[in-house]
Structure 1
Amino acid sequence: MIGTRWQIGHVLAALALAALCALPGFSAAAQGLFAPVAKVQDQTITAFELDQRQRFLSAIGGSPAPRELALDRLIEEKVQRAEARRLGVEIATDDILVGMDEFAGRANLDRAGLIAQLAQLGIAEETFRDFVEAGLMWRQIVRGRVGGNQHINLNDVNEALAFGNAQQQAASRVRVLISEIFLPARSPEERATADEIIAQIQDLRGFDAFSNAARQVSVAPSRDQGGRIDWLAFGNLPGPLREQILLMSPGQISDPVEVPNAVGLFQLRALSDTGAPAPVGGIAEFAVLGVPGSTPQEAREDAAAILERIDTCKDFYGEAQRDPDLTLELRESPVDLLAADIALALAPLDIGERTVLAGAESRARILMLCSRRLAGSETPDPDQVATALSNQRVQARADALLADLIARANIEILR
Structure 2
Amino acid sequence: MKAKFGRVWVAAGVCAALGLAVPSAMAAKAGTTKVLEKPEAKAHSRSAAAQPLPSDAIASVNGVAIPKTSLDAMVKASGQPDSPQLRELFKGQLIAQELIKQAALGQRYETRPEVRAALDAAKTVIVTRAYMTEHLDTQPVTDADVKAKYDAVVATLGESEYRASAIAVPDAVTAQTVLDQLKKGSDFAALARQYSQGPNAAQGGRLNWVSFKTPLTAGNTQNWPLPIAEALVKLPAGGVSSEPVQIGDQLWILRVDDKRDTQIPKFEESAPLLRKQLEQVAMEKATAKVIGDLLKNARVQQ
Indicate the TM-score class for this superposition, using the shorter chain for normalisation: 0.3 to 0.5
Return the index of the structure with the highest Cα Rg.
2
TM-score, normalising length from structure 1? 0.30
More strand by share: 1
TM-score, normalising length from structure 2? 0.38
